[in-house]
Amino acid sequence: MVNLTIALDAMGGDNGPPVTIPAAIEALAANKSLKFLVFGDQYQINPFIQNTPKSVLDRLEIIHCTQSVSMDEKPSLALRQKPESSMRLALEAVKNGEAQACVSAGNTGALITIAYYVLKMLPGISRPALVTAMPSLSGHKTYLLDLGANVDVDELTLHQFALMGSVLAEAKGTPNHTKPRVGLLNVGEEEIKGSSKIKRAAKLINDDDEINYVGYVEGNDIFTERADVVVCDGYVGNVSLKACEGIAKLVVESIKEAVGKSWVSKLLAFLALPTLKKMYKRVNPDQYNGASLLGLRGIVIKSHGNASKDGFKYAIVEAVNEIEHKVPEAIGHRIAALNERS
Amino acid sequence: MVNLTIALDAMGGDNGPPVTIPAAIEALAANKSLKFLVFGDQYQINPFIQNTPKSVLDRLEIIHCTQSVSMDEKPSLALRQKPESSMRLALEAVKNGEAQACVSAGNTGALITIAYYVLKMLPGISRPALVTAMPSLSGHKTYLLDLGANVDVDELTLHQFALMGSVLAEAKGTPNHTKPRVGLLNVGEEEIKGSSKIKRAAKLINDDDEINYVGYVEGNDIFTERADVVVCDGYVGNVSLKACEGIAKLVVESIKEAVGKSWVSKLLAFLALPTLKKMYKRVNPDQYNGASLLGLRGIVIKSHGNASKDGFKYAIVEAVNEIEHKVPEAIGHRIAALNERS
Reference B8, options B34, B31, B55, B40; nearest CA is B40
| Residue B63: strand pairing partners | B39
Single-letter amino acid, residue A55: S
CB–CB of A76/A113 below 8 Å?
A: yes
Reference B208, options B242, B246, B161, B169; nearest CA is B161
Which of A214-223, A272-281, B52-61, B287-296 has the least mean pLDDT?
A272-281
Alpha helices by DSSP H, listed for A130-233, are 155-172, 196-207
Alpha helices by DSSP H, listed for chain B, are 17-30, 42-45, 54-57, 75-81, 86-95, 108-119, 155-172, 196-207, 234-259, 263-283, 309-324, 327-341
Q: Sign of the C-alpha dihedral, residues B190, B193, B197, B203?
A: positive
Residues of B in Cβ contact (< 8 Å) with A194:
151, 235
For range B309-314, the mean pLDDT: 90
For B250, the closest of A137, A198, A234 (CB atoms) is: A137
CB atoms A254 and B137 under 8 Å: yes
Please, which residues 61-120 of chain B have a Cβ atom closer than 8 Å to chain A? Answer: 74
Please, which residues 190-209 of chain A have a Cβ atom closer than 8 Å to chain B? Answer: 192-196, 198
Reference A273, options B272, B232, B233; nearest CA is B272
B267 touches chain A (CB under 8 A): no
pLDDT at B72: 87
Please, which residues 222-261 of chain A have a Cβ atom closer than 8 Å to chain B? Answer: 222-224, 232, 234-236, 238-255, 257-259
Nearest CA in chain A to B257: A137
pLDDT at B270: 63
For A187, the closest of B224, B238, B252 (CB atoms) is: B238
CB atoms B246 and A219 under 8 Å: yes
pLDDT at A127: 84
pLDDT band at B148 (very low <50, low <70, confident <90, very high): confident
Residues of A in Cβ contact (< 8 Å) with B195:
151-152, 235
What stretches of chain A adopt beta strand conformation (E)? 4-9, 34-40, 60-64, 101-104, 129-134, 142-145, 181-185, 212-217, 229-231, 291-294, 299-302
Which of A128-137, A234-243, B160-169, B219-228 tops mean pLDDT?
B160-169
For range B15-39, the mean pLDDT: 96
pLDDT at B141: 85
CB atoms A249 and B185 under 8 Å: no
For B268, the closest of A221, A245, A268 (CB atoms) is: A268
Q: Is the predicted pLDDT of residue B118 greater than 90, yes or no? A: yes
CB atoms B243 and A245 under 8 Å: no
CATH 1.20.1600.10 fits B1-124+295-327, yes or no: no
Q: How many inter-chain contacts (A to B, CB under 8 Å) are there?
A: 178
For range B309-338, the mean pLDDT: 91
Helical (H) or strand (E) element with A86: helix A86-95
Q: Is the predicted pLDDT of residue B20 greater than 70, yes or no? A: yes
CB–CB of B75/B112 below 8 Å?
A: yes
Query: Mind listing the pLDDT tens digit for each residue in B171-194?
Result: 887 766 679 999 999 987 666 678
Cα of B245 to nearest chain A Cα, Å: 6
The 10 Å Cβ neighbour count of residue A179 is: 13
Nearest CA in chain B to A261: B275
Nearest CA in chain B to A233: B236
Single-letter amino acid, residue B302: K
pLDDT at A52: 94
Cα of B254 to nearest chain A Cα, Å: 6
d(CA B195, CA A246): 23
d(CA B185, CA B193): 11
B276 touches chain A (CB under 8 A): yes
CB atoms A245 and B220 under 8 Å: yes
CB–CB of B253/B219 below 8 Å?
A: no
Q: Which fold has domain A126-290?
A: Isopropylmalate Dehydrogenase (3.40.718)
Cα of B2 to nearest chain A Cα, Å: 40
Mean pLDDT, chain B, integer: 87
pLDDT at B266: 64
Q: How would you write the pLDDT of chain A (342 residues) with one tens digit per residue?
A: 889 999 999 999 999 999 999 999 999 999 999 999 999 999 999 999 999 999 999 999 999 999 999 988 999 999 999 999 999 999 999 999 999 999 999 998 899 999 999 999 999 898 889 998 887 767 788 999 998 878 888 999 999 999 999 999 988 877 666 799 999 999 876 666 788 899 999 999 999 999 999 999 999 898 888 999 999 999 999 898 888 878 777 766 766 666 556 665 666 656 656 655 655 555 554 456 789 999 999 999 999 888 889 889 989 999 999 999 999 999 999 888 888 877
Helical (H) or strand (E) element with A273: helix A263-283
Single-letter amino acid, residue B273: L
d(CA B146, CA B240): 11
pLDDT at A271: 61
CB–CB of A276/A252 below 8 Å?
A: yes
A262 touches chain B (CB under 8 A): no
pLDDT at A285: 43
Query: Mind listing the pLDDT tens digit for each residue in A325-334?
Result: 999 999 999 8
Best of B239, B273, B288 to disrupt the A interface (most A CBs within 10 Å) is B239
pLDDT at B286: 44
Parts of chain B belonging to CATH 3.40.718.10? 1-124+295-327, 126-288
DSSP state of A122: P
Parts of chain A belonging to CATH 3.40.718.10? 1-122+295-326, 126-290
Query: What superfamily in CATH does domain A1-122+295-326 come from?
Result: Isopropylmalate Dehydrogenase (3.40.718.10)
**DSSP secondary structure string, B194-238?**
S-HHHHHHHHHHHH-TTSEEEEEE-GGGGGSSS-SEEE--HHHHH
- Which class is domain B126-288? alpha beta
Please provide residue B231's backbone torsions phi and psi, each rounded to the nearest 5 degrees. -105, 135
d(CA A138, CA A135): 8
Residues of A in Cβ contact (< 8 Å) with B147:
none
For range B7-12, the mean pLDDT: 96
pLDDT at B277: 63
Cα of A308 to nearest chain B Cα, Å: 22
How many degrees, rounded to 5, is the angle at CA A96 between CA A92 and CA A100? Answer: 85
Residue B214 CB-half CA count within 13 A: 18
For B244, the closest of A186, A192, A243 (CB atoms) is: A243
For B283, the closest of A148, A247, A265 (CB atoms) is: A247
d(CA A96, CA A93): 5
pLDDT band at B69 (very low <50, low <70, confident <90, very high): very high
pLDDT band at B285 (very low <50, low <70, confident <90, very high): very low
